[in-house]
Amino acid sequence: MDGPKLIEANVFHSIQNTLKTCHENRVKYYSYALNLIVLIGFVVVVFLALYFSYKKKPSAYEQQQKMYKDQQLILSKIRHYQEQQKNIMTSPIGNL
């Protein structure tokens, strides 16, 4: 035996269909919200990466200063090497 039913079968199926529709709508809205949050997060990360990479780019003056320092370093190494060569040639051991 099935036992007594408190509601009719048509009402039960109607409530079940309504609940199923509500669940589908909720899942749809949650997926839209999740996709929107992921999109916003991705855009923010890309924007921040581009912004900071632009911000760290040296200006023309800084590039000139770096090039000048590099040239001075190379010239000082050349001078040091020339002095070493001169010292080797003037030392008594170098004249053997």
* Residue pLDDT, tens place only, 41-63: 999 999 999 999 888 888 889 89
Q: Rounded distance, CA 93 to CA 3, Å?
A: 118
- Using DSSP's 3-state secondary structure scheme, residue 49 falls into helix
Low-confidence ranges of the chain (pLDDT < 70): 1, 92-96
Domain boundaries, the chain: 7-57, 59-96
**Residue owning tokens 């053997």:** 96
Q: Report the amino acid identity of residue 53.
A: S
Per-residue pLDDT, 81? 93
Q: What stretches of 1-96 show up as alpha helix (H) in DSSP?
A: 9-55, 60-90
